[in-house]
Amino acid sequence: MAKTALERKRRVDVNRLSVETESQALPLLEIRSLTTTFPGEHRTFAAVNDVSLTVRAGRVTALVGESGSGKSATALSVMGLIDAPGRIEAGEIRLGGIDLRGLSKKSLQASRGREMAMIFQDPVQALNPVIPIGRQLTETIRRHRSNVKRAEARRIAIEQLRRAGLDDAERLMSAYAFELSGGMCQRIMIALALVSGAKLLIADEPTTALDVSVQAFILRELDRVRREDNVGILLITHDLGVVAELADDLYVMRAGRIVEYGEAAEVFDNPRHVYTQELLDSRL
Ligand SMILES: Nc1ncnc2c1ncn2[C@@H]1O[C@H](COP(=O)(O)OP(=O)(O)OP(=O)(O)O)[C@@H](O)[C@H]1O
Ligand code: NI
């Protein structure tokens, strides 16, 4: 696994010589000293504690760490989806240079649709219960590409559902989320995120609870949008095989803090923090 990552790194180093990839390396998402708290029984508890993290365009940044370390809370903070009484207490979250914390609720919502999309651990959160699947897809496609006609958007939507392993795509277009299984909702959510045209994609355990062929599809698609659309991806995962395969950069989180970060290949080959070594050894 480490070898694959190392080979990737070499390829990336060679690419850096070209001007094109120079622009890919621009910081897309910059999190600085983010602290997000939830009220505890005795005192507030910092699920995210002074976290700084950068996601670059055209690169996959993996965030790993044991269960409860604050990975999802970090992602939800970026998306503006921390619900009260939880709150962002301090820090900056910049997307394309714009401070998301300074945006109104409305602007943040618009940005969530257009510039950043998230594949959730729990697909039920992502799909609108009162709008048919097909309309959610076609509206997302047309919001992103204004010159696409309705029929063309429908064609793209059906194709994307098929690619996500949903054979009965035509029928699914008129279905509602509650009529479908969790696994189907998960695949639809991924299709939705991939057609959104977002520059930042946050994928929180995108392949958990899916069968192997769909897992492979998702990883291929993440790799494709990274390469072809220059999308920056924040990938939260327990699967170190996936990290070795896909990640350019790697952050290791523990108890709300980043304990180690660097180029993925480097961290794999030379983990500095004892917790990272344990994580690599245990293949959590
Ligand atoms: N809405 C909430 N209210 C109270 N505590 C919360 C809430 N959401 C998360 N937490 C707490 O914050 C901490 C971090 O949770 P988080 O979901 O970010 O972990 P994680 O790293 O994503 O774990 P996993 O790998 O299991 O998904 C945990 O201790 C969790 O119990
Ligand atoms: Ni999580």
Which ligand is in closest contact with the Cα of 255? Answer: 1
| Distance in Å, CA 35 to ligand 2 centroid | 16
pTM of the model: 0.84
Instruction: Give the domains, in start order, of the chain with CATH numbers.
Output: 2-115+235-282 (3.40.50.300)
Q: Report residue 190 CA to chain centroid gap.
A: 10
Q: Is the CB of 73 under 6 A from ligand 1?
A: yes
Q: Is the CB of 254 under 6 A from ligand 1?
A: no
Confidence at residue 124, expressed as pLDDT on a 0 to 100 scale: 66
| Distance in Å, CA 94 to ligand 1 centroid | 23
Confidence at residue 20, expressed as pLDDT on a 0 to 100 scale: 43
Q: Is the CB of 256 under 6 A from ligand 1?
A: no
List the residue whose alpha carbon is closest to atom 24 of ligand 1: 67
Confidence at residue 14, expressed as pLDDT on a 0 to 100 scale: 43
Confidence at residue 220, expressed as pLDDT on a 0 to 100 scale: 87
Over the chain, what HEC string results?
A: CHHHHHHHHHHHHHHCCCHHHHHHCCEEEEEEEEEEEECCCCCCEEEEEEEEEEEECCCEEEEECCCCCCHHHHHHHHHCCCCCCCEEEEEEEEECCEEHHHCCHHHHHHHHHHCEEEECCCHHHCCCCCCCHHHHHHHHHHHHCCCCCHHHHHHHHHHHHHHCCCCCHHHHCCCCHHHCCHHHHHHHHHHHHHHCCCCEEEEECCCCCCCHHHHHHHHHHHHHHHHHHCCEEEEECCCHHHHHHHCCEEEEEECCEEEEEEEHHHHHHCCCCHHHHHHHHHCC
116-131: b (≥16 Cβ within 10 Å) or e? bbbbbbebeebbeeee
List the residue whose alpha carbon is closest to atom 16 of ligand 1: 70
Confidence at residue 41, expressed as pLDDT on a 0 to 100 scale: 86
Among 49, 71, 87, 284, the mutation site with the greatest number of ligand 1 atoms within 8 A of its Cβ is 71
- Running along the chain, 284 residues long, what does each successive block of 10 average in pLDDT? 47 43 70 96 94 97 95 95 94 94 88 84 76 92 84 92 86 93 83 86 82 78 90 92 93 96 94 88 66
Q: Which atom of ligand 1 is nearest to the CA of 238?
A: 25
Which ligand is in closest contact with the Cα of 239? Answer: 1
Contacts of 24 (CB under 8 A, 6+ apart): 56, 57, 58, 59, 230
Q: Is the CB of 86 under 6 A from ligand 1?
A: yes
Confidence at residue 12, expressed as pLDDT on a 0 to 100 scale: 46
Q: Is the CB of 69 under 6 A from ligand 1?
A: yes
Q: Is the CB of 68 under 6 A from ligand 1?
A: yes
Q: Is the CB of 190 under 6 A from ligand 1?
A: no
| Distance in Å, CA 19 to ligand 2 centroid | 36
